């Protein structure tokens, strides 16, 4: 108990004491996971919407792949991305291994199936008559799809939240493709692992507390947005 | 080039699960008029409307819009944007009434000032300007249906398709909306197809009507003709000609025929060979109930048949009376008659109707 209490005291000191290293770690964590979520949203929402509405050959197979991807262990995704980014790998030419870009890439890949899966469910929850009515008013197929996404915006926001929650808390992929380099690719999760390994449990708990608080703040903001939109 | 028909269907067939659900060898819909399609649920009315609206393709056959075939996908979208379909369920967007009515113009990329002017105008014409800023999901059934209609009318289409637009509305709301729609249709004179299962709506709003039963168009004509002179027993029973009677001609002369029906006799207009079997239709509205003491009075009404009331249902301002007069005869009378004539089961009455009110649905041996 005392250990946790000490950790919380240490966390307060690290946050309000203006520790430069911790500030950098927090900032990088937000940037990497934020960028990965934005990327996954831009790609995943249209795909999820299309999978939820359009009927085409191979749809069932794609849905199975997405569902599998939703449960894929981050460390496996990290491994695959790492191999791809090796100098000899298919994306080796990008030369981004052990940079924040590699971390964004890996996290986006983790968030993508989650965003697609939740978006698909969100769109499927809309009355099919709605799409028919939009088409009847002269919508093209993609215009109708766009309006369905707008209509399901609250549920889509939940998809984005789930994606962000998954990537900000994962450690396996960022560790493998980022390398946990101090001042360059160290984020809250990898820093927590490192401090624990070094026996610095106070610092580890402090970093964990900061991570929890960050996740809570971001999700709380999105939830408030969602609630406000619903009341309107 | 003349556009005498807004829509023409040629040999259109639609199958669903290997069952033929729509079979229309030929159907031509007039321009600048309201055409009603009536039929019971599951008759294929909505399927027909979806084919016309180009939302669905028929399994077989062609649909011509203003005399033209539509083949490519691009052409389909362009044509779809010149018509508007108002569906049964409003399915409104979760945003303001204004935004909902604007939707179709957004799809068409109509310049903003023109679109805004039209939206304002149509909200006004449908009497919902005051709802403009309200969320469309918080409207009453009647208000939502007005928004639904405004959404289609604001597009000022070449062809307006209405699928059961009054369904689920309470009677005063329904009548008010029907009245407004009638006035608007008179003003804009847009070619309109109205799908309904309600005979009154078809009669009130359209200049011609098609009766659909079981995927087929069974009869087309002006509403009065279709509703008083149905071509078959099935149509008769659907359009509310409840008295469908099997008769045998006893004698026929001077343009007047007497036929036996059950244990009674009926006079009808026209001449038929003696001994011929007829199927007769009489609308309940055409049958009047009188007090037996009036039987002596002189009148031009040919059929005055004494009988007794066997059943009686009062339905608001009207009452449905079944009189047993050698055969059962249904009559629709004003509610006040129930009191005036002291109608109740067992009461002795006279059922009377003109010879011209008797319509021959079918004749032959």
Return the residue of B nearest to A141 by Cα.
Answer: B77
Q: Are B134 and B170 within 8 A, CB to CB? A: no
Same domain, B233 and B252: no
Check CB contact of B78 with chain A, cutoff 8 Å.
no
Check CB contact of B45 with chain A, cutoff 8 Å.
no
Check CB contact of B151 with chain A, cutoff 8 Å.
yes
Check CB contact of A147 with chain B, cutoff 8 Å.
yes
Instruction: Single out the residue in B194, B216, B238 at which a domain terminates.
Output: B238
From chain B residues 90-109, the ones with a CB under 8 A of any chain A CB are: 90-91, 93-94, 103-104, 107-108
Q: Are A123 and A116 within 8 A, CB to CB? A: no
Question: Which of A127, A130, A137 shows the shortest C-beta gap to B107?
Answer: A137
Shortest distance, CA B82 to any CA of chain A (angstroms): 8
Check CB contact of A127 with chain B, cutoff 8 Å.
yes
**B93 contacts A138? CB cut-off 8 A:** no
The pLDDT tens digits of the residues spanning A89-102 come to 888 888 899 999 99
| Chain A positions in Cβ-Cβ contact with residue B86 (cut-off 8 Å) | 136
Same domain, B32 and B139: yes
Q: Which helix (H) or strand (E) holds A96?
A: none
Range of the domain at B65: 5-238
Check CB contact of A149 with chain B, cutoff 8 Å.
no
For position A100, what pLDDT does the model report? 94
Same domain, B205 and B151: yes
The owner of tokens 């084919």 is B51
Same domain, B266 and B181: no
Question: Which of B90, B94, B155 shows the shortest C-beta gap to A151?
Answer: B94
Return the residue of A nearest to B103 by Cα.
Answer: A137
Check CB contact of A226 with chain B, cutoff 8 Å.
no
For position B297, what pLDDT does the model report? 74
Its ipTM equals 0.80
Question: Which of A133, A138, A139 shows the shortest C-beta gap to B91?
Answer: A133
For position B219, what pLDDT does the model report? 93
Check CB contact of A231 with chain B, cutoff 8 Å.
no
Of residues A229 and A69, more confidently modeled = A69
Question: Which of B81, B86, B91 shows the shortest C-beta gap to A138?
Answer: B81
| Chain B positions in Cβ-Cβ contact with residue A147 (cut-off 8 Å) | 93, 103
**B91 contacts A130? CB cut-off 8 A:** yes
Same domain, B192 and B71: yes
Per-residue pLDDT of chain B (365 residues), as tens digits, is 445 788 999 999 999 998 999 999 999 998 999 999 999 988 999 999 999 999 999 999 999 998 888 888 888 999 999 999 999 888 999 999 999 999 999 999 999 999 999 999 999 999 999 999 999 999 999 999 999 999 999 999 999 999 999 988 988 999 999 999 999 999 999 999 999 988 889 988 999 999 999 999 999 999 888 888 888 888 988 887 888 889 999 999 888 999 999 888 999 999 999 999 999 999 888 999 988 887 777 777 889 999 999 988 888 788 999 999 888 899 999 988 888 888 889 899 999 999 999 998 888 75
Beta bridge partners of B258: B251, B267
The pLDDT tens digits of the residues spanning A153-211 come to 988 998 999 999 999 999 999 999 999 999 899 999 999 999 999 988 888 888 998 99
Check CB contact of B195 with chain A, cutoff 8 Å.
no
Q: CATH number for the domain including B324?
A: 2.40.50.100
Instruction: Single out the residue in B215, B238, B261 at which a domain terminates.
Output: B238
| Chain B positions in Cβ-Cβ contact with residue A130 (cut-off 8 Å) | 91, 93
Same domain, B97 and B186: yes
Going edge to edge, which strands form the sheet with B5-16? B19-30, B5-16, B60-65, B68-69
Same domain, B113 and B219: yes
Q: Which of B93, B144, B145, B167 to substitute to test the interface with A, most A CBs within 10 Å?
A: B93
Same domain, B112 and B254: no
**Phi/psi of residue A142, nearest 5 degrees:** -75, -30
**A151 contacts B107? CB cut-off 8 A:** no
Fold adopted by A2-231:
MetI-like fold (1.10.3720)
What is the pLDDT averaged over residues A19-30?
A: 90
Q: What angle do CA A219, A224, A226 make, to 5 degrees?
A: 95
Instruction: Single out the residue in B238, B254, B274 at which a domain terminates.
Output: B238
**B81 contacts A136? CB cut-off 8 A:** no
For position A175, what pLDDT does the model report? 93
Return the residue of A nearest to B133 by Cα.
Answer: A232
Same domain, B232 and B258: no
Check CB contact of A133 with chain B, cutoff 8 Å.
yes
Shortest distance, CA A137 to any CA of chain B (angstroms): 5
Same domain, B230 and B270: no
Q: Which of B96, B107, B155 to substitute to test the interface with A, most A CBs within 10 Å?
A: B107
- Residue A215 pLDDT class (50, 70, 90 cuts): confident
**A137 contacts B151? CB cut-off 8 A:** yes
| Chain A positions in Cβ-Cβ contact with residue B161 (cut-off 8 Å) | 136
Q: How many residue pairs from chains A and B have C-beta atoms closer than 8 A? A: 51
- Tally of domains in chain B: 2
Q: CATH number for the domain including B174?
A: 3.40.50.300
Instruction: Say how far apart CA B136 and CA B6 lie, in whole Å.
Output: 32
Question: Which of B77, B85, B93 shows the shortest C-beta gap to A136?
Answer: B85
Check CB contact of B85 with chain A, cutoff 8 Å.
yes
- Residue A230 pLDDT class (50, 70, 90 cuts): low
Same domain, B215 and B260: no
Check CB contact of B81 with chain A, cutoff 8 Å.
yes
């Amino acid at each position: 108990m005392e250990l946790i209490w000490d950790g919380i005291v240490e966390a307060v000191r690290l946050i309000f004491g203006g520790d430069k290293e911790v500030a950098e770690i927090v900032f990088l964590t937000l940037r990497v996971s934020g960028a990965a979520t934005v990327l996954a949203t831009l790609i995943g929402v249209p795909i999820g919407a299309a999978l939820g509405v359009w009927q085409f050959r191979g749809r069932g197979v794609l849905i199975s792949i997405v569902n599998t991807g939703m449960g894929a262990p981050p460390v496996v995704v990290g491994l695959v991305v790492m191999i791809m980014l090796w100098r000899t790998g298919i994306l080796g030419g990008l030369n981004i291994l052990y940079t924040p870009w590699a971390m964004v890439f890996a996290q986006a890949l983790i968030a993508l199936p989650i965003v697609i899966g939740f978006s698909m469910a969100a769109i499927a929850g809309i009355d099919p008559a709605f799409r028919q009515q939009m088409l009847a008013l002269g919508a093209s197929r993609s215009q109708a799809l766009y309006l369905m996404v707008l209509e399901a915006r609250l549920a889509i926001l939940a998809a984005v939240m789930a994606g962000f929650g998954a990537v900000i808390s994962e450690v396996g992929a960022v560790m493998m493709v980022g390398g946990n380099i101090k001042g360059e690719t160290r984020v809250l999760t990898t820093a927590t692992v490192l401090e624990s390994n070094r026996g610095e449990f106070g610092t580890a708990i402090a970093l964990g507390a900061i991570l929890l608080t960050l996740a809570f703040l971001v999700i709380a903001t999105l939830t408030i947005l969602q609630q406000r939109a619903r009341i309107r | 080039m003349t556009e005498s028909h807004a829509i023409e269907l040629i040999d259109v067939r639609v199958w669903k699960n290997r069952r033929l659900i729509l079979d229309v060898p030929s159907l031509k819909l007039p321009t600048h008029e309201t055409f009603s399609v009536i039929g019971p649920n599951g008759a294929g009315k909505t399927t027909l409307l979806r084919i016309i609206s180009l939302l669905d393709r028929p399994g077989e056959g062609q649909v011509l819009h203003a005399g033209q075939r539509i083949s490519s996908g691009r052409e389909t979208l362009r044509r779809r944007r010149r018509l508007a379909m108002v569906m049964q369920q409003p399915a409104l967007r979760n945003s303001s009434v204004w935004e909902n009515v604007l939707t179709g113009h957004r799809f068409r990329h109509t310049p903003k000032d023109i679109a805004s002017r039209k939206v304002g105008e149509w909200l006004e014409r449908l009497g919902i300007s005051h709802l403009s800023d309200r969320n469309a999901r918080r409207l009453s059934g009647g208000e939502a249906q007005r928004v639904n209609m405004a959404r289609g009318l604001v597009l000022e289409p070449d062809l307006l398709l209405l699928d059961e637009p009054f369904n689920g509305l309470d009677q005063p709301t329904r009548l008010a909306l029907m009245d407004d729609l009638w006035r608007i249709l008179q003003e804009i004179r847009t070619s309109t197809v109205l799908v309904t299962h309600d005979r009154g709506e078809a009669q009130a709003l359209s200049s011609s009507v098609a009766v659909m039963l079981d995927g087929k168009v069974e009869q087309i004509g002006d509403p009065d003709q279709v509703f008083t002179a149905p071509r078959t027993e099935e149509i008769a029973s659907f359009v509310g000609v409840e008295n469908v009677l099997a008769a045998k001609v006893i004698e026929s002369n001077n343009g007047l025929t007497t036929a036996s029906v059950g244990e009674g006799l009926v006079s009808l207009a026209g001449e038929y060979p003696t001994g011929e079997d007829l199927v007769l239709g009489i609308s309940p509205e055409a049958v009047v109930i009188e007090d037996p003491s009036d039987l002596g009075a002189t009148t031009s009404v040919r059929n005055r048949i004494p009988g007794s009331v066997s059943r009686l249902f009062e339905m608001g301002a009207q009452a449905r009376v079944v009189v047993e007069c050698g055969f059962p005869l249904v009559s629709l009378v004003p509610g006040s008659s129930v009191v005036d004539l002291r109608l109740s089961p067992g009461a002795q009455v006279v059922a009377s109707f003109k010879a011209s009110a008797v319509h021959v649905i079918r004749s032959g041996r």
